[in-house]
């Protein structure tokens, strides 16, 4: 069986953590670790639809893992809350 490594902050407390969601959130979080990006740029970089990226960003925002910056179009950045990488 293939073991896949997910970003520790991709796991949500209040939602079911299915493989597709964990994969999408891992990609989103790995790009946000480098620098803040807006939703359109994230969707283009990871190859997932704009609506899907926005949904995952709102789920992560509800758990205080990411936050919005500035005016529309918002730039998203990590807050430092959640599990950290070792």
Tokens of 60: 């992560």
Q: Where are the domains of the chain?
A: 17-78
12-52: per-residue pLDDT in tens?
998 999 999 999 999 999 999 999 999 999 999 999 999 99
Which pLDDT value is given to residue 11? Answer: 92
3-state helix, strand, coil in the chain (%, to 5): 45, 10, 40
Sheet strands side by side (includes 66-69): 37-38, 75-78, 66-69
Higher-confidence residue of 82 and 81: namely 81
Which pLDDT value is given to residue 1? Answer: 59
Task: Quote the percentage of the chain above a pLDDT of 70.
Answer: 90
Contact (CB, 8 A) for 58 and 69: no
Residue 83, helix vs strand vs coil: coil
Q: Rounded to an integer, what distance in angstroms lies between the CA atom of residue 76 and that of residue 79?
A: 10
Q: Does domain 17-78 have CATH number 1.10.10.10?
A: yes
Which pLDDT value is given to residue 60? Answer: 96
């Amino acid at each position: 069986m293939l073991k896949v490594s997910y970003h520790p902050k991709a796991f949500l407390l209040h939602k079911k953590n299915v493989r597709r969601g964990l994969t999408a959130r891992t990609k989103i979080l790995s790009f946000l670790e480098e620098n803040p990006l807006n939703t359109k740029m994230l969707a283009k970089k990871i190859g997932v639809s704009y609506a899907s990226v926005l949904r995952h960003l709102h789920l992560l925002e509800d758990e205080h893992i990411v936050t919005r910056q500035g005016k529309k179009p918002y730039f998203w950045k990590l807050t430092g809350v959640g599990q950290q990488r070792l």
